[in-house]
Structure 1
Amino acid sequence: MTTYLLSQWKNQPGGPQNPVPFMLSLGSATTSLREKELIVKTFDDWGVLTSTWFEVADYLSTIEKLSDDTSFTEHRRAALLSSKVAYCLGDYAGALQLVLGAEDLFSLSPRPAHPEYGQQDELYVNKIIEQAVDTYKLAMRDNTKIDQRLENLLNRIFNLNMESREYRQVVGLALDTRRLDQIERAVKASDDSTTLLSETVTKVLGSQLDRAFRSKVLDVLLRLFSELQEPDFVSINLKSTCKKSRW
């Protein structure tokens, strides 16, 4: 019955309107878990949420409660839905915190633009990635404990760029987030390690990185230069530059 009602409501002339009855059902003890799952799945759709989020926002705490309940099969989707609502409210820090509970259900690859609701998913995904990187950068800079779920999300971002062979982007992100392991990973995976190393040295020397971290980066680059099987004149000179610039 709930499936039929949701379908009729979603496809009514003018699109979905007045989501309050479904939101009340989410918080009701008389609503079955199966029905709650169907409601959460239906609302985790920009085609529904774009026109209803301002009313759904009044029930954000109800959705969050479901996301915290690991016995609820769709708790990760509830976390994703909560994140999208927080994003619509302009609470980007909250949206990030909530999406961490969605884990891999949060896709780093946005859905294509839709003729009715446009690039909502792309805007959302890009903002979450931006917020995640900024939050991680701040934590690394201040040497504060990082939520393992945030660490996992950053690793997924790195992996996506590695799979796309965007090695320069990986290096840039690694410098921003102080991930020496990812710099090394990108250089070793590159078909032209010497060029990437050279560009990275130039970028580091021209950056505003603090002295201690810059020294660590140059140590890594120096070691990578030393590991080149056939170092050429340029790499030898850059290796020398790394040594001199460490201090």
Structure 2
Amino acid sequence: MAATTSAAPYLSLLDEEDPQLKTYALSSLNDLADQLWTEIANNISEIEQLFEDESFPSRHLAALLVSKVYYNLGDYDSSVKYSLLSGSQFNVNEKTEYVETIVSKCIDLYIKQSKLKFKDPSVNIDPQLTKIFEQMLQKCVSDKEIKLALGISLESYRLDIVKTIIDQQLQANKGEEYIINLLSYVLTCSTTVISNTEFRRQTLNSLALALLSLKSPDYFLLTKVIVQLNDYNLVHKIFKDLLKAPEKRQIAYQIAFDLVSVASQELLTKTINILEKDSSIDQTDSTAVTLKKILSGIPTCDLDITFLSDNNNTDISILDHTKSSLDGRNSMFHSAVTFANAFMHAGTTDDSFVRNNLDWLGKANNWSKFSATAALGVIHKGNLSQGQIILQPYLPNSTSSPYTNGGSLFGLGLIYAGHGKEVLGYLRNQVVEGSSAPDSKNTEIILHGACLGVGVAAMGLGDEQIYEELKSVLFTDNAISSEAAAIAMGLVILSFVD
């Protein structure tokens, strides 16, 4: 049979009164749309009118033809509009460039509208658009493209579809290892793709429930979820369940160590508090005592400084050579050597360079002296048992230099960074007393160090009272102390997103 080279015979049938002839013409034109669209485009208004005629039985076929013409014209928005109006005539399973392009555009449009609907439930989404979206996701599942379906569902804020897909895989007896792999993918997507805080929270809560429902939960993955949620109630529930089974106490310890390494100070503090208040937990039980001790961070800090101390291979001769290169009274050079020493010996508790060069360090002036004292906090970071004793000679009322006093307060905060329970009371008193003391340069310097010390010691604690105390210093509008207060306020509420 000869190929059709003109759409004119079929277009002329559109002027007939008989609906069956019009339907035949539309069906024929629909098959030839990709070849003869330039000719059909001249009659696009007439075909649109057929769709608008609600008494015409093949109006959806007319919409499909209009969609194909607009697609070839490059007007994708109009093409998508009429493809949605074509109803069941639009076959998402048809393997043509037109269908693949329109489906892709429909998915993008649906994702955009679905995000808006999550924020504003009054937003209405075309049912046909929803149908196409869900059909494509089901096709992904049927083709075993599970992660693709999960990713698109999350991007469109359709948590119900995510749950359905996971449930289907569970019912199909795919195995817990396979399910955990999918849940891990959902976690990755939720932390990288989802920007809406509330939807991320809902997703993570559902993820936690799914993990806990498994016979052998992946506690490592569950710990990641907990950290993202910052939910101490969930941690309490997990620990409470694990403490009931003696054979699972090692798992509880491992979770505690993992939390100490990545969780916020607020989560750790509140978890300890809620465990201590739980009357159903025997507070004298060795497992519970050990668990709370791990959560305090002390064992982790002890292990860290022991490892760093035992593996301290720094070359002191580098510092000695550098120190002798220039005059120690040069403040910038003096600070550079001080910082180099602090970073080289960070967490090792090795302050031998400081003790062997007290005369040279004594040449420091003003803020160089502040930095030299604060550097001790870097060297002894994590030395929770000896931190206050080490800095005692430099703290306020122990020496007259305000720079040394301020630097020691900052250094004290650095030693207890992220684990500031023991020193926060003292540092906060310094802030409160300093902010109420008469204005003077010396007071502002000490207050500068105290604010920075509070900031690092209370880092991630989310304590509103500490935040307000720092804010009162900020509002004094003194450049020295207000700068430190502003930085400290950010550190206290670090990682908190509303």
In the alignment, the residues of structure 1 paired with residue 76 and residue 61 of structure 2 have an alpha-carbon distance, to the nearest angstrom, of: 18
Give the TM-score normalised by structure 2.
Answer: 0.41
Within the alignment, does 1:34 sit opposite 2:20 as a pair? yes
**Which residue number corresponds to residue 243 of structure 1?**
229
Give the alignment's Cα RMSD to 1 decimal: 2.2
Residue 165 of structure 1 aligns with an amino acid whose one-letter code is K
State the shift of 1:239 in Å.
4.3
Tell me if structure 1 keeps the 8 A contact 2:67–2:80.
yes
**Which residue number corresponds to residue 39 of structure 2?**
55
In the TM superposition, structure 1's runs of 4+ consecutive aligned residues that sit over 6 Å from their partners are none
**Which residue number corresponds to residue 153 of structure 1?**
132
State the shift of 1:163 in Å.
2.2
Give per-residue Cα distances to partners, 1:168-225, cap 9 Å, x unaligned. Answer: 0111111121111111112222222211001111222233522222222212212222
2:67 counterpart (62, 70, 83): 83
SS at match of 1:221: helix
In the alignment, the residues of structure 2 paired with residue 236 and residue 142 of structure 1 have an alpha-carbon distance, to the nearest angstrom, of: 30
**Which residue number corresponds to residue 117 of structure 1?**
none
State the shift of 1:69 in Å.
3.4
1:171 counterpart (127, 145, 150): 150
SS at match of 1:44: helix
**Which residue number corresponds to residue 3 of structure 1?**
none
**Which residue number corresponds to residue 206 of structure 1?**
192
| Distance 1:210-1:198 versus aligned 2 partners, 3 A rule | same
State the shift of 1:235 in Å.
4.3
State the shift of 1:21 in Å.
4.2
**Which residue number corresponds to residue 4 of structure 1?**
none
Tell me if structure 2 keeps the 8 A contact 1:198–1:238.
no
In the alignment, the residues of structure 2 paired with residue 208 and residue 230 of structure 1 have an alpha-carbon distance, to the nearest angstrom, of: 28
Residue 70 of structure 2 aligns with an amino acid whose one-letter code is A
In the alignment, the residues of structure 2 paired with residue 102 and residue 148 of structure 1 have an alpha-carbon distance, to the nearest angstrom, of: 12
In the alignment, the residues of structure 2 paired with residue 226 and residue 63 of structure 1 have an alpha-carbon distance, to the nearest angstrom, of: 57
State the shift of 1:73 in Å.
3.0
| Distance 1:229-1:105 versus aligned 2 partners, 3 A rule | farther
Tell me if structure 2 keeps the 8 A contact 1:225–1:231.
yes
Alignment identity in percent?
24
In the alignment, the residues of structure 1 paired with residue 127 and residue 33 of structure 2 have an alpha-carbon distance, to the nearest angstrom, of: 29
**Which residue number corresponds to residue 25 of structure 1?**
13
1:131 counterpart (99, 105, 109): 105
Residue 72 of structure 2 aligns with an amino acid whose one-letter code is C
Say which is worse superposed, 83-92 or 150-159, in terms of deviation.
150-159
In the alignment, the residues of structure 2 paired with residue 58 and residue 220 of structure 1 have an alpha-carbon distance, to the nearest angstrom, of: 54
- Where do 1:86-235 residues align within 5 Å? 86-111=70-95, 121=96, 123-143=97-117, 144-190=123-169, 191=174, 192-207=178-193, 209-235=195-221
SS at match of 2:86: helix
In the alignment, the residues of structure 2 paired with residue 60 and residue 96 of structure 1 have an alpha-carbon distance, to the nearest angstrom, of: 16
Give per-residue Cα distances to partners, 1:135-193, cap 9 Å, x unaligned. Answer: 11221233332112211221211221222232101111111211111111122222222
Tell me if structure 1 keeps the 8 A contact 2:211–2:218.
no
Give per-residue Cα distances to partners, 1:74-98, cap 9 Å, x unaligned. Answer: 2222221111111111111111111
Residue 135 of structure 1 aligns with an amino acid whose one-letter code is L
Tell me if structure 1 keeps the 8 A contact 2:187–2:225.
no
Unaligned segments of structure 2, at least 5 residues: 118-122, 232-495
Number of residues paired by the alignment? 221
**Which residue number corresponds to residue 73 of structure 1?**
57
Tell me if structure 2 keeps the 8 A contact 1:219–1:242.
no
Residue 102 of structure 2 aligns with an amino acid whose one-letter code is I
In the alignment, the residues of structure 1 paired with residue 125 and residue 108 of structure 2 have an alpha-carbon distance, to the nearest angstrom, of: 12
Tell me if structure 2 keeps the 8 A contact 1:16–1:52.
no
Which protein has greater RCO, CA pairs closer than 8 Å, 6+ apart? 1
Give the number of the structure whose alpha-carbon radius of gyration is greater. Answer: 2
| Distance 1:223-1:69 versus aligned 2 partners, 3 A rule | farther
In the alignment, the residues of structure 2 paired with residue 182 and residue 163 of structure 1 have an alpha-carbon distance, to the nearest angstrom, of: 14
SS at match of 2:230: helix
In the alignment, the residues of structure 2 paired with residue 165 and residue 110 of structure 1 have an alpha-carbon distance, to the nearest angstrom, of: 19
Give the TM-score normalised by structure 1.
Answer: 0.80
SS at match of 2:185: helix
Say which is worse superposed, 220-229 or 64-73, in terms of deviation.
64-73
Tell me if structure 2 keeps the 8 A contact 1:201–1:242.
no
**Which residue number corresponds to residue 7 of structure 1?**
none
**Which residue number corresponds to residue 439 of structure 2?**
none
In the alignment, the residues of structure 1 paired with residue 75 and residue 94 of structure 2 have an alpha-carbon distance, to the nearest angstrom, of: 20
Unaligned segments of structure 1, at least 5 residues: 1-10, 112-120
